Structure 1
Amino acid sequence: MMRLDYGVTRAPARLIFGPGQRRAIGTAAASLGKRALICTDARFGALPIMQEILKDLAEQGVQTQLYSETEAELPLESILACVDRYRDFAPDVLIGIGGGSCVDLAKLVSLLLVHSAPLSQYYGEFKVPGPILPVIAVPTTSGTGAEVTPVAVLGDPALTMKVGISSPELIPHTAICDPELTLTCPKGLTAISGADAMAHAIEAFAATTRQADPAMAMTRVFVGKNVLSDHYALTAIKLIYSNLRRATSEGGDLDARTAVMLGSTYAGLAFGSAGTSAAHAIQYPIGAMTSTAHGLGIGILLPYTMAFNLPVAAADYAEIGRAIGVASAGDADEDAAKAAIEAIRALFAEVGIPVSLRAIGIDDAHIEDISTLSMNAKRLVENNPRPLDPSTIKGILAAAMQAE
């Protein structure tokens, strides 16, 4: 049973949430310096709203440079190119505006502008030697939670899968979460981003429980299930479950968009200390093999990893089932837990996420490699409540391949 007196939260110094709060970017940046490098993608960089943000920064006396070439999955060479291009500009602050890749680019460019290359020396946990330049994170999707987390993920061509750098130094100084920025997010991206956020919350809530060693939070980025992450995670699950359908089907519904973005932010706060587990570990090689979006693979896998974990996580899943209203207090934990799993499966299917890995190009010939490569995500494998090995991962994959 989890100890109820141990908890860890890592969060930005400032977290500003609400419709219209993008208008705080200028004053937030001016409080941190006079030169800002903005990292975004081509789509957002071309929108009129980007010009509004640039005008706001100029009115606050902040000189800016705009990098709008962020690529999906964040290739290493693009990070290095951005650093080389803007090193002489010497920004005081980085502003990441966009999806997770844009925010992660801001984190990693900031890291390399302060600390020496190569970036590979920081792969893993607690390897960033000290503070980076302050980052302002402004998400335009509701999924990754990158605006509040100590993690950045990139694609290194020397490695088979994406790799993460995990350090509290990477937590943005300021997160500005404005759900109005998600109103134009396409239906498909809204769905898979929401599935990713839901997985963050569920995997954090059902993560393994560790002995409350006083040194743990200083040596392990993901400490496992704890009393503080549980609060964020369960709130996130309720918000996303109740609002993702509407945010997906009625993209202009600001109330639904606000609820899902709040859920995504809470989910980021949850997994930023508790961590994620099986679905994320298995998705990494699947994403590399299929070049499909992270949230899509996560959405397919999550119901199957939950079913695998059911024998040891029934109490946690039962609490989720009761919280989202698909089970009652009088139901046995196993029944309530199964109801929760089926509810998540139904939600994802309703918003358009496939039920089988075959839908994204995985076939039986891939299973051996996926099961082996998944084990390389050690921090995620160790965080799963039920022990994982290549054999058990094959079982999860087999179930996810047979689904109709």
Structure 2
Amino acid sequence: MPERQATTPHLAPTGTLRLPSRIHVGYGVRDQVPALLAEHGSRVFAVVDPFLADSPEFVRLVTRARAAGLTVTVHSEVSPELPVDSLTASGAAAVGDAPDVVLAYGGGSSLDAAKLIALLVTHGGTLADYYGENRVPGPVLPVVAVPTTAGTGSEVTPVAVVSDPQREMKLGISSPHLVPAAAVVDPELTLGAPPSVTAYAGIDALVHALESYTAAPLPLDWSGGLPVFTGSNLFADQLALEAVRRIAPYLARAVADGSDREAREQVAYGSLLAGMSFGPTGTHLSHALQYPIGALTKTPHGLGTGLMIPYVLQACVPAVPERLAELDLALGGRADDTWVAAQDAVDRVAELCRTIGIPANLAEIGITHDQLPHIAELAQGSARLLAISPVGSEPGTLLTILEAAHAGDRSLIAASARPGRGKGNLS
């Protein structure tokens, strides 16, 4: 891959935030949920992961909501990876219930499902009508989002992702109207989550922060409609760095011991900050490549973004070394030389991925070498993500990253960066 020292013209920094009107984080904040629901009406459509529907904490929440005079319908028909047909059925069920507010409780699939159900109840049609950016015509039913994993950040973002088998990949629906009305992030609800769930969700949260911080700036027309994802962002930069400081030192601890309260608290808070960061900026190549990879392999989203992030960051070294050097400080590095620090940041992220059990290469999850060009081609469909890639989005660039990720060898990318710097090898 040819060296790219500068990929975009200099743009004066600007800032944008689109967030819920209420955000609560910390142990015990889940007790605020019934009051938040009541602010929007008395009829609640509760979307919950099926394995959590009978959990003591969810049952307690529903009992308290009903004791407060709310009518609660529990909907647990949430399928992993959100196939579009299942969401159409869920939307129809919600329309029949005529809710005032949607409660989203569970992992990223439940939160995204709740946002899309709120969309279908309000505006009708099919989800395909809304694929892409800014196609939601107006506000949707209010959503109170309560994550039970620390990873997706969906509780504060304007995007939801579905699986569409006819299109061979996951697709995003992005609109400021999908930002929930309230987010309640209680680390208590993440205690005891299995190691793999913690690892995949947690690394995805870290990827959100890393890709938000390395996002390229976009030229914006402030006199017209803005894109949902605006690229590099003054507000988001600080949120992303703090997210990295919270997640990186504690994620391995949370994976190793699901009852580690300090680690759970730090990772949950970091995941929230990462969601607040990438909500306005967007993510880039790890996510664009994961969508077809996940569809082909049926592997969890966080596994795919975690697998890809060392290779994507390696490609970023010659393009945004200063940004990576700043991330290195947030990751615990102390190198004075910008290029050394940039490579150290990539190496630290790769080491964390290895420690928590993220597969080291695409071959491990069943991707064959001859599938790589097709994956690169499918990734070209994620225009909103590719637009903020700091290394561009040419098919050859994507294929170089995929070739390295398939071989498990970052030196295939590092060879095009400054000679003699860094390890650049995952083998």
TM-score normalized by the length of structure 1: 0.97
TM-superposed CA distance for 1:324, in Å, is 2.2
2:113 match: secondary structure: helix
* CA distances 1:340-399 after superposition (whole Å, capped 9, x unpaired): 000000011001111111111111121111111111111111110111222111111111
CA offsets, 1:109-162, max 9 Å, x none? 111111021221111111100011100000011110000000011112321111
Q: Does 1:29 align with 2:37?
A: yes
With over 3 angstroms needed to count, the CA separation of the structure-2 counterparts of 1:306 and 1:300, relative to structure 1, is same
Match of 1:197 among 189, 200, 205: 205
Matched, 1:288 2:300: no
| Matching residue within 123, 146, 153 for 1:145 | 153
Q: Distance in 2 between matches of 1:296 and 1:42?
A: 22
Matched with 2:326 is 319
Match of 2:372 among 355, 367, 376: 367
Q: What is the CA-CA distance between 1:327 and the residue it aligns to? A: 2.4
Counterpart of 1:302 in structure 2 is 309
Which amino acid in 1 is paired with 2:326?
Answer: E
Q: Does residue 122 of structure 1 match 2:160?
A: no
Match of 1:390 among 387, 392, 395: 395
Conserved in 1, the CA contact under 8 Å of 2:94 and 2:121? no
Match of 1:252 among 253, 256, 259: 259
CA spacing shift, 1:215–1:231, aligned 2, 3 Å: farther
Q: Which one-letter code corresponds to 1:153 in the other structure? A: V
Displacement of 1:24 after TM fit?
A: 1.1
Matched, 1:93 2:101: yes
Residue 263 in structure 1 maps to residue 270 in structure 2:
yes
Tell me, yes or no, if the aligned pair for 2:94 and 2:117 is still in contact at 8 Å: no
Residue type of the alignment partner of 1:117: G
Report the secondary structure of 1:136's partner residue.
strand
For 2:91 and 2:360, the matched residues in 1 are separated by 40
Identity rate of aligned residues, in percent? Answer: 40
Name the residue aligned to 2:423: none
Q: Distance in 2 between matches of 1:388 and 1:145?
A: 25
Matched, 1:345 2:350: yes
User: Unaligned stretches of 5+ in structure 1?
Assistant: none
Question: In structure 2, what residue type is equivalent to 1:56?
Answer: R
Which deviates more, 95-104 or 82-91? 82-91
Q: Which runs of 5+ in 2 are unaligned?
A: 1-8, 409-426
State the Cα distance separating 1:3 from its structure 2 match.
5.9
Counterpart mapping for 1:72-91 below 5 A: 72-91=80-99
CA gap 1:2/1:39 in 2 versus in 1, 3 angstroms: farther
**What is the one-letter code of the residue matched to 1:21?**
V
- Does residue 207 of the first structure (1) align with residue 212 of the second (2)? no
Matched residue, 1:60: 68
Q: Is this contact kept in 2: 1:4–1:227, CA < 8 A?
A: no
In 2, the alpha carbon distance for the partners of 1:322 and 1:88 equals 52
User: C-alpha distance in 1, partners of 2:406/2:185?
Assistant: 37
Q: Please tell me the residue identity of whatever aligns with 1:12.
A: P
When the two chains are superposed, the root-mean-square deviation of aligned CA atoms in Å is: 1.3
In the alignment, is the contact (CA less than 8 A) between 2:220 and 2:226 conserved in 1? no
> Partners of 1:84 and 1:64 in 2: how far apart?
17
Kindly indicate whether residue 244 of structure 2 is the aligned counterpart of residue 237 of structure 1.
Answer: yes
The answer to whether the 8 A contact 1:39-1:66 is kept is yes
* Bigger shift: residues 111-120 or 161-170: 111-120
Alignment match, 1:279: 286
| Count of aligned pairs between the two proteins | 401
Change (3 A) 1:181 1:305: same
Any idea what SS the aligned residue of 1:163 has? strand
Partner of 1:15: 23
Q: Is the 8 A contact 2:163 2:295 kept in 1?
A: no
Amino acid at match of 2:369: D
Amino acid paired to 1:376: G
SS in 2 for 1:97: strand
Matched residue type, 1:243: Y
Kindly provide the CA deviation profile for residues 263-322 of structure 1, in whole angstroms up to 9, marking residues without a partner as x: 101101111011100110011110010000010011110000000111111110000112
TM-score, normalising length: structure 2 = 0.92
Q: Secondary structure at the match of 2:161?
A: strand
Question: Which whole-Å deviations, capped at 9, do the CAs of 1:181-202 have from their partners, x for residues lacking one?
Answer: 0002110110111111111000
Residue 413 of structure 2 corresponds to residue 402 of structure 1: no
CA distance in 2, matches of 1:197, 1:357: 20
